[in-house]
Chains A and B, each alone.
Chain A
């Protein structure tokens, strides 16, 4: 017969097992639109079960402090998560992800301090507890990765939130970053060999600093890849610290996220035609790039003329970019689309894989505005359709429709897959001013003969176009 302590331990293990199953099933369900919503709920139950079970862990101290920390943090995160606008979602994901990385680093720090006090303890006669070498190594690795993810994500958050200049560069930056990373690794190795508190402190200082340094020079356009990478980092760190604690739920959930996150990062980088190392170590989004001169001029158009073009069109493709979301114009644009559909026009939305600030971000924003799924097309599906398209409306998108990505080898965005808007019969670009995009380069599309610029705020432009359409109606078009 087992005693009650053994029974509780068994129940805790069973809860962790159930949590691991629920988390994996949850992610699986989240990868299909039909089941996605239940997926997050399954995963939520999984974490809840594991957290409740942990309170019954034998020999738990500091329970009051624990409850206080959980309640305070949950309340803050819950409130901020409920309140944040959909456009600001990426930085919130970065923030919460950074917190997870920091938590994993804290577990590592606590474990390392525990190991250090074991080593420092006077030798007992019989059972001298010795530190398991593989646990020690993984505690250090998990703490390293978790620390980098922690400070790196916080910098990513600050940048996307607009609290910090987009890029921060100085001469010899790569060398400084490299030295900082080597220092973190070297101190980590010292911790493994000597386990002295001083080395532990130096190790964490170097690791946390490296997370900051590594993220500072990365521009806004590359942030999605970076957030996704740190997401994978945190997963891996959690997996490693799970090994240190011998907690299978942490090992499985962390490693699954580490692998899934790495794949997601690669998919994203591929969509931008950039390797991950390219994102991390090159100066994208820096402006001042010396691309070839573009000939021609910008040809403005007023809203009434643009509305007439739309009125005559049969097939319209709308290409939204992050600028549309910033202007909160997605609802108006959907209203405009409904007006066009009502007049028997075929309307589609073309989404670049990195439109918005994360892959799929634009889909979320359009879904929020009520645009149905089947009107939204991915880049590969929509690109062959541009030559048959009478009017393409580009709103708030810039670099992702710039044909120099295909033609100009000297351009920093050369090789990035783009939407072939340039092939449409007529292009209308809705834009507030003449500025350049994230990458800071001129857009050759805007200078093409078939392109007209409608200078206006996104909402205002959509309103005027709707009014213009109605005016053509009453003006005797039909």
Chain B
């Protein structure tokens, strides 16, 4: 059982981690990062699966099914959209000779 101060420490450390890992992110990555973090909380699907799997009443079952449906959409949609955005960024790794003229 994670409870009391152990839980508080866990929340505190996770919050600092979240703050630290993105504190130096360049503006160009704000949108993909927002989209990416949107995908990361798609792990909620796991919680919804447990809620549905342990449902004991029909009402809980339907609520759980809705939760799984929504959670899966969060995860799948978040992944596809982020991947598509970041895919375009790779092309700029070597921008080619075009910008030589600009310098």
A89 within 8 A of B: yes
Q: Mark B1-15, 1 if CB is under 8 A from A, else 0.
A: 111100100110011
Which residues on the A side are within 8 Å of B101 (C-beta)?
Answer: 341-342, 344
Which residues B14-45 have CB closer than 8 A to chain A?
14-19, 21-45
A74 and B76 form a contact (CB under 8 A): yes
| Interface 9-mer from A169-177, A183-191, A210-218, A261-269 | A261-269
A288 within 8 A of B: no
Question: CB < 8 Å: which of A41, A69, A86 contacts B65?
Answer: A69
Which residues on the A side are within 8 Å of B42 (C-beta)?
Answer: 47, 96, 100
A241 and B47 form a contact (CB under 8 A): yes
Shortest B86–chain A CB gap in Å is 4
Which residues on the B side are within 8 Å of A119 (C-beta)?
Answer: none
Question: CB < 8 Å: which of A40, A51, A245, A258 contacts B18?
Answer: A258
A106 and B50 form a contact (CB under 8 A): no
A11 within 8 A of B: no
B96 and A50 form a contact (CB under 8 A): no
Question: CB < 8 Å: which of A76, A248, A259 contacts B15?
Answer: A259
B17 and A107 form a contact (CB under 8 A): no
A130 within 8 A of B: no
B86 and A96 form a contact (CB under 8 A): no
Q: Mark A110-145, 1 if CB is under 8 A from B, else 0.
A: 110110010000000000000010100000000000
Number of interface residues of A (CB under 8 A): 128
Shortest B11–chain A CB gap in Å is 5
Shortest A378–chain B CB gap in Å is 6
Most buried by A among B27, B86, B102: B27
A31 within 8 A of B: yes
A sample of 9 cross-chain residue pairs with beta-carbon separation below 8 angstroms, ordered by A number, consists of A24-B17, A27-B37, A36-B29, A99-B77, A103-B45, A106-B51, A110-B63, A257-B18, A359-B34
If A96-B73, A103-B71, A341-B98 touch, does A40 touch B79 (CB 8 Å cutoff)? yes
- Per the bound structure, the CA–CA distance linking A360 and B103 in Å amounts to 24
A358 within 8 A of B: yes
Question: CB < 8 Å: which of B33, B56, B67 contacts A103?
Answer: B67
A256 and B17 form a contact (CB under 8 A): yes
A84 and B81 form a contact (CB under 8 A): yes
| Interface 9-mer from A226-234, A304-312, A457-465 | A226-234
A59 and B54 form a contact (CB under 8 A): yes
| Interface 9-mer from A321-329, A345-353, A398-406, A444-452 | A345-353
B64 and A106 form a contact (CB under 8 A): yes
Summarize B's interface: helix, strand, loop or mixed: helix
Question: CB < 8 Å: which of A33, A73, A102, A258 contacts B89?
Answer: A33
B36 and A99 form a contact (CB under 8 A): no
- Per the bound structure, the CA–CA distance linking A348 and B84 in Å amounts to 25
A264 and B21 form a contact (CB under 8 A): no
Question: CB < 8 Å: which of A69, A99, A228 contacts B34?
Answer: A228
Q: Mark A14-40, 1 if CB is under 8 A from B, else 0.
A: 001001000110111011111011011
A248 and B99 form a contact (CB under 8 A): no
- Per the bound structure, the CA–CA distance linking A19 and B43 in Å amounts to 9
Q: List the 3 shortest-distance A-B pairs measured between CB atoms, nearest first.
A: A372-B95, A106-B67, A259-B18
Which residues on the A side are within 8 Å of B74 (C-beta)?
Answer: 77, 96-97, 99-100, 103, 234
B31 and A359 form a contact (CB under 8 A): yes
If A69-B72, A77-B77 touch, does A368 touch B51 (CB 8 Å cutoff)? no
Question: CB < 8 Å: which of A39, A104, A338, A359 contacts B36?
Answer: A39
Given contacts A100-B41, A102-B67, A134-B3, 14 further A-B contacts (CB under 8 A): A27-B21, A31-B21, A31-B25, A40-B83, A44-B39, A69-B65, A103-B71, A106-B67, A114-B54, A235-B37, A250-B44, A264-B30, A363-B28, A364-B32
Shortest B72–chain A CB gap in Å is 4
Shortest B88–chain A CB gap in Å is 5
Which residues A233-262 have CB closer than 8 A to chain B?
234-235, 238-239, 241-243, 245-261
Question: CB < 8 Å: which of B37, B86, B96 contacts A261?
Answer: B37
- Per the bound structure, the CA–CA distance linking A252 and B25 in Å amounts to 20
Closest residue of chain B to A94 (Cβ to Cβ) is B38
Most buried by B among A76, A364, A373: A364
Closest residue of chain B to A34 (Cβ to Cβ) is B93
Shortest A92–chain B CB gap in Å is 6
Closest residue of chain B to A28 (Cβ to Cβ) is B21
- Per the bound structure, the CA–CA distance linking A32 and B48 in Å amounts to 31
If A241-B47, A247-B47 touch, does A30 touch B29 (CB 8 Å cutoff)? yes
A250 and B34 form a contact (CB under 8 A): no
A78 and B40 form a contact (CB under 8 A): no
A370 within 8 A of B: yes
If A348-B102, A360-B30 touch, does A104 touch B18 (CB 8 Å cutoff)? no
A95 within 8 A of B: yes
- Per the bound structure, the CA–CA distance linking A361 and B71 in Å amounts to 25
Which residues on the B side are within 8 Å of A86 (C-beta)?
Answer: 84-85
Question: CB < 8 Å: which of B18, B63, B91, B92 contacts A113?
Answer: B63
